[in-house]
Structure 1
Amino acid sequence: MAGPTSGAATAGGVPSAAPPVAMPAEEHLDMRKLVTFLLMVLGMFMAILDIQIVSASLPEIQAGLGASSDEIPWIQTSYLIAEVIMIPLSGYLSRMLSTRWLFTISAGGFTVMSVLCGLSNSMGEMILWRTLQGFLGGAMIPMVFASAYTIFPRSKMHIVSPLIGLVATLAPTIGPTLGGYLTEFLSWHWLFFINVVPGIVVTLAAFFLIDFDKPDLSLLSRFDWWGFLGLAVFLGTMEYVLEEGAADDWFAEPTIVMMTAIMTLGGFLFFWRAFTAEEPIVRLDAFTDRNFAMGSIFSFGLGIGLYGMIYIFPVYLSGVRGHNSLQIGETMMVTGVAMFLTAPIAGRLVQSVDLRLVMGVGFALFALSAWMMTGLTDDWDYWEIFLPQVLRGISLMLCMVPVSNIALGMLPPEQVKNASGLFNLTRNLGGAVGLALINTILSNREDVHFARLAESVNGANDSAAGALATLTQAFAGLGDAAESAAYATLARMVSVQAMVMSLIDLFVLLTGLFLGLAFLLFFVQRPAIGGGGGGGGH
């Protein structure tokens, strides 16, 4: 297991068994590698951004393509399914093709698909190009994490770690805001065209600048096609079930039952090949490292918190407060600003403080942020949710920077590529599972609260009777329809209160989740201060 006694590094960040000539490399930050890495991070930013950038503009895309309400969610679902398949596969492909060629293909393909998405004239075209965009772009995300932990010395990880942590959390946070602005002032086509110029830059940079490793084309002849089939079926159907299950009442819908059965078969095939194939496309041996396993659990939990909150706040701001996409984006930018300002602080902390303590503070702040929201009412707006959003932004950065160091920083270099795919997969799956649970809980609890509130809204309740009389008088101009309008308005008021109460239930659950994650830190082996690096590990 990785730890301070495993020969990973001395306190100064120099491998204990390294010859003296290795010391200058630990102190020197190669500027060519840094510039290359920054451009790779830009590619990762685009890939993560495109998950959420369309979310605030789906009605405009629907109108532009003449799509039905059932078809339009597939603009996001198709992207997510394809991306979640590529992320764990990227480790094998980057070993086979090299980081240079896979990143070039990924960035170039992502850019081309972005253009085709913007030029789409039908829903069928859009879904096809979004699927390919997600599949090709998905490889950039784990490759950035893997490169960070293989090309930079341990002593410089306080510069690199906050950068990838910031991008991983900031991109989905600002996605709906940026999408809203582009759609409002240009058109929905620019949700995709915005990728073209940076995509070309990243593609050229990847081709001309990346030289971190060499391809191993012998892996092509040993490619486990059955394992790939199992992986694609398992993760693809799982993403579908999680995305569509809540809306379709889960196993009451035959399609969900069928997809779950296919998912089970795909999972069996994938895990069978993972443990028996001569060269499995995804190696699971990284999970034998306790810190990687615990880091993956934390990443899963952070996925629930990150994507869950990005979903919950717009539900409240639009459904209760009646805000449009631009107002929602401007309100939620508070979290993004807090992340940005906290990133350098988090980088310094992981350099000098026990990573478990930094994460513990982060989990506690997230729990506090969620707990503050349990006082939610239907008249809370920008300033009432300002402090909880600031705390959430700070907490996400304090968690994301050390969690990647805990999970990947102590692994040997030959394991990092594959482990990076698994690590990033856990965050995406956490988001998918979290959103499915949130939608289910929100729907069920809203029904329960509405039923309970409706029981008390009757003629025997003086407050309800008074409110009904006031509303009837207000609608007096409608004549005989005044009483019906009053009842409808009262029902909407009860529905809003039921929604607020169900949101409070979710915030209570999120508080418990993050307190639980903080408790799990006791099972993490103490990693060396300063995080990971290319030479760390066993």
Structure 2
Amino acid sequence: MAQRAFAFALMCIGFFMATLDIQIVASSLRDIGGGLSASQDELSWVQTAYLIAEIMVIPMSGWLSKVFSTRWLFVASAVGFTATSMLCGLAWDIDSMITFRALQGALGAAMIPTVFTTAFVLFPGKQRIVASTTIGALASLAPTLGPVIGGWITDQWSWHWLFYLNLVPGIAVAALVPKYVHIDEPDLALIKRGDYIGIALMCAFLGCLEYVLEEGPRKNWFGDDAIVACAWISAICGFLFIVHALTAREPVVDLRALAVRNFGIGSVLSFVTGIGIFVAVFLTPLFLAEVRGFSSLQIGLSLLSVGVFQMLALGAYAYATRFFSMRVLMLFGLVCFGLGCYLYVPLTHDWGWQQFLLPQALRGVGQQFAIPPIVTMSLGSLPPSRLKSASGLFNLMRNLGGAIGIAVSATMLNDRLNFHYLRLNERVVHGAPQVESLLAGSTDHWSAIAGNTLDAAQAGLAQLHALVLREALVMTFSDTFFALSLCFVVAIACIAFSQPIHNAPPPDAH
């Protein structure tokens, strides 16, 4: 038992590193951009390149683990992830950084779904609850802590250490996993009958889809030829991939598992929680940077409360499993998560960590209570023979939810900003008492500094414009958080259609 627990702990370290690195750069992009002389559009690809590569590889991990075994696939993934982390820290320009981040995401991706499979293979009965609780906590904690850890490291040392941080644990995991992890044996004969058509279609579908989602908000969506071309490629390859996966004898991704009710519903819930986790981590640092002008460290500290309350909720969740069913705990978690997102709606331009405390506390508690039951419900509903392929699909849904959620949020931020700015601008007219008072005060202030009435009047108008733009931006963030909270209404409704959650997986059919 001790060896199994240690083996699982080793794999959890690799899993945490790979998940953490999606968002570890979130609060440090300005520092990275300054170091690499990169524009804002280029900087977004530091995150996106990692996510695209990870999304493309995760679904293949089930087949790869059958070919090379879980042990050696995990070792290869840890070695590749560690090496590319070092290369990211050594990047000399933005192009090299994006290339190394894509390789880091692709090579580290296999460590994520293999941990889920391992937990359900290694541990029986109630021990599986502990394992799924651990995985669920890490899966939601890593993206949340990413900006916190990243902001602190960048402030204390430099952005290069965001990547050097992975070297010691990565080497340790790669060295120890071969000795302690023994789950299955490699079957190299599977290489000959691999589903290479399915892999090619899936990569084209997911890669082009992620490009459309990332670049669409900045390039006016279908007003750009490259976006249109990628959208067509994604749609055609996606359709062909689904048809192929449902008709092939040994597809790379087991889409038929979605017909199992609890797995299908669990995948939808994984998608929604992915939206919740990644979009909240995307929006909050952006608000604090653009509206409040916070530094990397200030942003990280403002987000710290989510992780603190999630860790506090860990013990409460473990205790609650003795008295309440998994469905009740999952419902409580999703309600807290959705309510936490809704409480962001009344935000104002002066919100800081004090105002964020309650919404983030509910988010932290909600993540801890919702995600472990979702993992147990989804993967616990399948026989062991289907776990490897299904685990890749389940994890894909979470990351895909995050990618789509971030793209929709970015589009809303652009469109709703224009809407609110125009509406506010209609009310900011000469003759309005508040406007005249503000302009008079600004003109007097700048006249005292500049000594020129004309320049002071122009400075006052510029200050008024900045004020209107700031308030429009705050209202835009409020709208986006409201849309995010509505996603959890759908998730809560899905629970009504789920079946009771069992700890033991069903037997394989013969």
| Residue aligning to 1:45 | 16
State whether structure 2 residue 189 is matched by structure 1 residue 218: yes
State whether structure 2 residue 75 is matched by structure 1 residue 89: no
Q: Could you tell me which of 87, 96, 103 is aligned with 2:74?
A: 103
Q: Deviations over 1:407-456 (max 9, x none)?
A: 11121111111111100000001001111111111211111111111111
The answer (yes or no) to whether the contact 2:260–2:381 under 8 Å persists in 1 is: no
TM-score normalised by L of structure 2 = 0.96
Q: Could you tell me which of 476, 481, 484 is aligned with 2:458?
A: 484
| Residue aligning to 2:160 | 189
| Residue aligning to 1:268 | 239
| Residue aligning to 2:485 | 511
State whether structure 2 residue 264 is matched by structure 1 residue 293: yes
State whether structure 2 residue 175 is matched by structure 1 residue 204: yes
Cα separation, 2, equivalents of 1:313 and 1:337: 16
The answer (yes or no) to whether the contact 1:161–1:347 under 8 Å persists in 2 is: no
Cα separation, 1, equivalents of 2:248 and 2:26: 40
Deviation, 1:537, is 7.7
Cα separation, 2, equivalents of 1:311 and 1:139: 24
The DSSP-based 3-state class of the residue aligned with 2:394 is: helix
Deviation, 1:373, is 2.1
Deviation, 1:68, is 4.1
Give the letter for the 2:253 counterpart: V
| Residue aligning to 1:74 | 45
Q: Could you tell me which of 110, 115, 129 is aligned with 1:139?
A: 110
The answer (yes or no) to whether the contact 2:349–2:474 under 8 Å persists in 1 is: yes
Q: Could you tell me which of 340, 353, 356 is aligned with 1:382?
A: 353
Structure 2 unaligned blocks of 5 or more: none
Name whichever of 68-77 and 332-341 sits farther off: 68-77
Deviation, 1:535, is 6.3
Cα separation, 1, equivalents of 2:507 and 2:478: 44
Deviation, 1:280, is 1.5
Deviation, 1:372, is 2.2
Name whichever of 397-406 and 256-265 sits farther off: 256-265
Give the letter for the 2:206 counterpart: L
State whether structure 2 residue 327 is matched by structure 1 residue 356: yes
| Residue aligning to 1:253 | 224
Deviation, 1:367, is 2.4
Cα separation, 2, equivalents of 1:361 and 1:268: 36
Cα separation, 1, equivalents of 2:323 and 2:69: 34
Describe how 1:131-170 pairs up with structure 2 within 5 A.
131-170=102-141
Higher relative contact order (CA 8 A, sep 6+): 1
The answer (yes or no) to whether the contact 2:246–2:256 under 8 Å persists in 1 is: no
The answer (yes or no) to whether the contact 2:26–2:282 under 8 Å persists in 1 is: no
| Residue aligning to 1:58 | 29
| Residue aligning to 1:24 | none
| Residue aligning to 1:461 | 432
Cα separation, 2, equivalents of 1:443 and 1:468: 28
Percent sequence identity over aligned pairs: 42
Give the letter for the 1:403 counterpart: I
Cα separation, 1, equivalents of 2:485 and 2:95: 41
Deviation, 1:352, is 3.8
Using a 3 Å threshold, how does the CA distance of structure 1 residues 457 and 67 change in structure 2: closer, same or farther? closer
Deviation, 1:460, is 3.0
TM-score normalised by L of structure 1 = 0.91
Using a 3 Å threshold, how does the CA distance of structure 1 residues 123 and 504 change in structure 2: closer, same or farther? closer
Cα separation, 2, equivalents of 1:356 and 1:536: 22
The DSSP-based 3-state class of the residue aligned with 1:237 is: helix
Structure 1 unaligned blocks of 5 or more: 1-29
Q: Could you tell me which of 483, 495, 498 is aligned with 1:521?
A: 495
Q: Deviations over 1:305-347 (max 9, x none)?
A: 1111111111221222221111011011000011111123223
The DSSP-based 3-state class of the residue aligned with 2:343 is: helix
Cα separation, 1, equivalents of 2:483 and 2:26: 25
Deviation, 1:304, is 0.8
The answer (yes or no) to whether the contact 2:27–2:299 under 8 Å persists in 1 is: no
Q: Deviations over 1:250-292 (max 9, x none)?
A: 1112111111111123213322331333321112121110000
The answer (yes or no) to whether the contact 2:205–2:237 under 8 Å persists in 1 is: yes
Give the letter for the 1:228 counterpart: I
| Residue aligning to 2:317 | 346
Cα separation, 1, equivalents of 2:107 and 2:194: 18
State whether structure 2 residue 443 is matched by structure 1 residue 472: yes
Cα separation, 1, equivalents of 2:74 and 2:506: 23
Q: Deviations over 1:178-216 (max 9, x none)?
A: 112222222222111111110011111221111011122
Q: Could you tell me which of 284, 293, 304 is aligned with 2:275?
A: 304
State whether structure 2 residue 383 is matched by structure 1 residue 412: yes
| Residue aligning to 2:98 | 127
The answer (yes or no) to whether the contact 1:162–1:344 under 8 Å persists in 2 is: no
The answer (yes or no) to whether the contact 2:12–2:115 under 8 Å persists in 1 is: yes
Using a 3 Å threshold, how does the CA distance of structure 1 residues 233 and 350 change in structure 2: closer, same or farther? farther
Give the letter for the 1:296 counterpart: S
Cα separation, 2, equivalents of 1:338 and 1:425: 26
The answer (yes or no) to whether the contact 1:154–1:534 under 8 Å persists in 2 is: no
Name whichever of 351-360 and 47-56 sits farther off: 351-360
Deviation, 1:124, is 3.2
Deviation, 1:401, is 1.0
Deviation, 1:107, is 0.7
RMSD: 1.6
Q: Deviations over 1:340-379 (max 9, x none)?
A: 1112322333454222211111121122222322222222
Name whichever of 55-64 and 248-257 sits farther off: 55-64
Using a 3 Å threshold, how does the CA distance of structure 1 residues 125 and 533 change in structure 2: closer, same or farther? farther
How many residue pairs were aligned?
A: 506
